[in-house]
Structure 1
Amino acid sequence: MPISFDTTGFHQTDQNTWQHHNGDQVRLTYHGVVPDLPAALDDLPELRHGLALVHGETGCLVEAHVVQLGGAPALLRIIKMPLPDQPNGQVFVASFTVPKERSSAVLLLVAVERGMTGAREAVLAAEIGFEDWVRPHPYAPELEGVLPFHAGDDPRYDARFPDHPLSRVRAWAHHVVRTARVDPGFASLPPFRVPAPPPAVEPGQTLSTALPSLPVKDFIGLRIGERTTYWRTTDSKLAEVLGRGLMGRSPLAETRFRDMLLIDVETGDAMIPDRFTTDGQMTAHSTRLRQVTLQEADAALSDDDVMDAFKWAGRMCGAAAERGEFLSLEPIENDGEQADPHILLAVQPHEGRQVVIAQFSPPPSVGPLAGATSRTAPATAESVEGIGVLAGLAVNEWRSHPLKMAITYRRSAS
């Protein structure tokens, strides 16, 4: 892994995960795709603004800084999110991202609020005054996020509440800045650059919004209006960003979103918009797809290709968890509120550890999952992929082709 760090006080549970006796968990990951950052590290105001908007969808960005990690520029961010499926409590995450032109390394600590929640906030709110408690976000004053930006998260109060998860992640982050190292080979890779502006649309060219299916090998289904058509990619551009939270999104309902692209159905010329803007301008990448029939695509696919597609869905579930989201795997025509059949895929904290979860609706009636409403396992690289395979078993019972399936980003309603 490109980052090495001090593991004192932690025990290693798998290749990329370390657990502290207090329940805090460190994860170290490498991503071989263009980093999903809204701006370059040398444009800190725009970077902070974009990150505040992104994390406001699922919680709140507490702070973000560009730091030197073993001599390599890195993004440090601290975020808070509501505890999943709990009426109270929060999860705090401190993460370091070392971004490069086409890859990144991420080191993060997850700390969950346990026991009596909200004690820090209750004490400080009474002292500071409730009228001055909630404040405009310093990076995005217009933001109204899932969780408020408030006075109690100020680092000056950490010493009074050393056992609070926010205090713990900050203290860990400060220690990492002082002690971590980045592999020289990785540090010397070309730096992350903001993608170039999109090419101009040719005169007379008509672009339609298309929502993609689960990718299988180099084939993809596209939902365009009420019709699904099938296409073969001619380069890797779509594969590099699909499912990773990098593409522009189309809302299906208040808390449901899908990746989207723009395509000229006549020529196959397509534009892949970035999810974030640069200097207020949308950026995009051009690619070309070639239309095929479902029968042509099916004839070119093997069982291993289909298995790899569902493993990919599992990995994208793991990537979504890092953004505070989870996924629904469902028929591509489920383009409104959540409807059956579907499978929810999530990685979330449970009793001091990360677990991967698949929830089936309706439960499968035959096969190894017959009668099961859900399956869970400790979150590892293998189990995250494996949960996608279990989802594939359920999809097989629906007699649905994988190119007629789609992943939908989900987040808890605020």
Structure 2
Amino acid sequence: MPISFDTAGFHQLDQNTWQHANGDQAVLTYFGLVPDLPAGLDDLPALRHDLAIIHGEAGCLVEAHVVQLGGTPALLRIVKLPLPNQPNGQVFTCSFTIPKERSSAVLQLVAAERGMTGTREAILAAEIGFENWVKAHPYAPELEGVLPFHAGDDPRHDARFPDHPLSRVRAWAHHVVRTARVDPGFASLPSFRMQPPPPPVEPGQSLMTALPSLPVKGFVGLRIGEETTYWRTTDPKLGEMLGRGLMGRSPLADTRFRDMLLVDVETGEAMIPDRFTTNGQMTAHGTRLEQVTLQEADAALSDEDVMDAFRWAGRMCGEAAERGEFLSLEPIENDGEQADPHVLLAVQPHEGQQVVIAQFSPPPSEGPLAGSPSRSAPATAESVEGIGVIAGMAVNEWRSHPLRMAITYRRPTG
């Protein structure tokens, strides 16, 4: 792994996961993909603004900084989220991301409130005054996120509440900055840079909104209106952005969203809009697709290609968890409220550790998953990929081609 850190006080659970005696869990991950950051480390105001908007959809970005890990620039961010499936309580994550041109390394600590929750906030709110409690977000004053940015998260209060998860992740962050090391080979890779926007749409070009399927090798299905057509990609851009929360989104329902792009069905010219604006300006990326039939695409795919597509879905479930979201793998025609059949994929804390979960609706009636409403396992790089493969086993029972399946982002409702 590109990052090494001090594991004193931690027990190693697997190759990439460590658990502290207090229950906090550290995870080290390498992504062989273009980083999913909305701006470069050299534009901290834009990066902070867009990250605040992103994390505000599920919780709140507490702070973000560019720091040095062993002389290598890294993004440090602390995020708070509601405890999943709990009426009260929060979970705090602290992550260090080292972005490179076509890869990244992430070291993250997850710390959840346990037992009586909200004590720090209750004491400080009474002292500070409720009228002074909630503040405009310093990175995005216009933001109204799921969780408020408030005075109680100020680091000046950490010393009074050393056992609070926010205090713990901050203390760990300071220690990591002082002691972590980065592999010299990884540190020397070209730095991540945002790509410039593409040229404007040519006059006469007719662009239609398209919702993509699960990508399989170099092929993708596109739901355009009531019709699904099939396309071969000609460059890696769409594959680099699909599933990572980077693309513009089309709402299906209040808490259901899909990636979207704009395509000229006559020429195959397409625009991939960025999900967030920079300085109020929408940007997009140009690409070109070649239309094919489902039979032509299927003939070019092997069983291993299909397995890779479901492994990819598992990895995207892991990335969605970092945004406070989970995924639904479902037929591309399911474009309204959640309907059967579908598989929900999530990574969330459970009894002091991160767990990856697949929930089937309806439960499979055939094969090794017969009668099982769900499968779960401790979250590791292998199990996150594996849960996608398990989802693929359920999909196989539906007799649906993977290019007719879609990833839908879901947000917790409670």
Return the TM-score normalized by structure 1.
0.98
Query: Structure 1 residue 395: deviation in Å?
Result: 0.9
Between the aligned partners of 1:32 and 1:284, the Cα distance in structure 2 is 23
Say whether the 8 Å CA contact 2:348–2:356 is kept in structure 1: yes
Of 167-176 and 68-77, deviating more is: 68-77
Distance 1:165 1:282 in 2: 37
Confirm whether residue 377 of structure 1 aligns to residue 364 of structure 2: no
SS at match of 1:200: coil
* 1:174 alignment partner in structure 2: 174
1:401 is aligned to 2:401: yes
Separation (CA, whole Å) in 2 of partners of 1:402 and 1:271 = 23
- CA offset at residue 276 of structure 1? 2.6
Distance of 2:229 and 2:221 partners within structure 1: 6
Q: What residue number does 1:349 align with?
A: 349
State the match for 2:138 in structure 1. Answer: 138
Q: Determine the structure 1 residue equivalent to 2:287.
A: 287
Give how far 1:283 is off: 2.2
1:221-260 matches, cutoff 5 A: 221-260=221-260
Partner of 1:263: 263
Matching residue of 1:300: 300
Return the alpha-carbon distance in structure 2 between the equivalents of residues 2 and 315 of structure 1: 19
What is the Cα deviation at residue 282 of structure 1? 2.1
> Residue 189 of structure 1: CA displacement?
1.9
Opposite residue 405 of structure 1, the aligned amino acid is M
For 2:117 and 2:378, the matched residues in 1 are separated by: 25
d(CA) in 2 for partners of 1:33, 1:393: 26
Indicate if the aligned counterparts of 2:38 and 2:246 stay in contact, CA closer than 8 A.
no
* In 1: Cα distance, 2:248 partner to 2:195 partner: 14
Looking at structure 1, the residues matched to 236 and 40 of structure 2 have their Cα atoms a distance apart, in angstroms, of 23
Q: Give the aligned length.
A: 414
Q: Secondary structure at the match of 1:368?
A: helix
Contact 2:11-2:18 at 8 Å conserved across structures? yes
- Counterpart for residue 101 of structure 1: 101
Using the alignment, how far apart are the partners of 2:190 and 2:277 within structure 1? 22
Q: Whole-Å Cα distance in 1 between the matches of residues 257 and 164 of structure 2?
A: 33
- Asked whether 1:365 is paired with 2:375, we answer no
Specify the code of the residue in structure 2 equivalent to 1:269: E
1-structure distance, mates of 2:387, 2:176: 32
**Secondary structure at the residue paired with 2:307?**
helix
Deviations 1:340-392 (A, max 9, x none): 11110001110001111001111112221111111111111221111111111
1:373 alignment partner AA:
P
Alignment-derived partner of residue 191 in structure 1: 191
Deviation at 1:213, TM superposition (A): 0.3
Cα deviation, residue 183, structure 1: 1.7
Amino acid at match of 2:144: E
Checking the alignment, whether the CA contact within 8 Å between 1:314 and 1:389 is kept in structure 2 is yes
Contact 1:197 1:282 in 2 (8 A): no
Report if aligned partners of 1:355, 1:376 keep a CA contact under 8 Å in 2: yes
Q: Deviations over 1:272-311 (max 9, x none)?
A: 2222323322222221111111111122222222122111
- Gaps of at least 5 residues in structure 1 are none
Report the residue type matching 2:46 in the other structure: E
Q: Which moved more, 1:247-256 or 1:147-156?
A: 247-256
Alignment of 1:39-78 (within 5 A): 39-78=39-78
Show CA shifts across 1:195-253 (max 9, x none).
20122111101111111001112111000111100011122221122111122211111
1:328-343 residue pairs with structure 2 within 5 A? 328-343=328-343
* Structure 1 match to 2:111: 111
Structure 2 residue identity aligned to 1:294: L
1:33/1:241 contact within 8 Å kept: no
Paired residue secondary structure (1:337)? coil
Q: Would the aligned equivalents of 1:363 and 1:373 in 2 still touch at CA under 8 Å? A: yes
Contact 1:341 1:361 in 2 (8 A): yes
After TM superposition, list the pairs within 5 Å mapping 1:157-172 onto structure 2.
157-172=157-172
Residue 16 (1) aligns with residue 16 (2): yes
CA distance in 1, matches of 2:387, 2:211: 24
Asked whether the 8 Å contact 2:264–2:270 carries over to 1, the reply is yes
Please name the residue that 2:215 is paired with: 215
1:104, CA displacement in angstroms? Answer: 1.4
Tell me the distance in 2 between the aligned counterparts of 1:280 and 1:181: 37
Range 247-256 or range 141-150, more displaced: 247-256
Q: CA deviation at 1:268?
A: 0.8
Deviations, residues 291-339 of structure 1 (Å, cap 9, x unaligned):
1111111222222221221111111111111221110000101111111
Shifted more, 148-157 versus 269-278: the winner is 269-278
Counterpart-to-counterpart distance in 2, 1:36 and 1:210: 21
Secondary structure of 1:315's aligned partner = helix
- Give 2:308's aligned amino acid: D
Q: Partners of 1:383 and 1:41 in 2: how far apart?
A: 31
| Inter-partner Cα distance in structure 2 for 1:39 and 1:383 | 30
What is the distance in 2 between the residues matched to 1:317 and 1:301? Answer: 23
Q: Please list every run of 5 or more consecutive structure 2 residues that lacks an aligned counterpart in the other structure.
A: none
**1:92 touches 1:112 (CA, 8 Å); kept in 2?**
yes
Aligned partners of 1:105, 1:310: CA distance in 2, in Å? Answer: 22
Q: Name the TM-score, length of structure 2 as normaliser.
A: 0.98
CA RMSD of aligned residues (A): 1.2
Number of the residue aligned with 1:321: 321
Hey, what's the Cα distance between the residues in 2 that align with 1:163 and 1:185? 37
Q: CA deviation at 1:258?
A: 0.9
Q: Per the alignment, in what secondary structure is the counterpart of residue 278 of structure 1?
A: coil
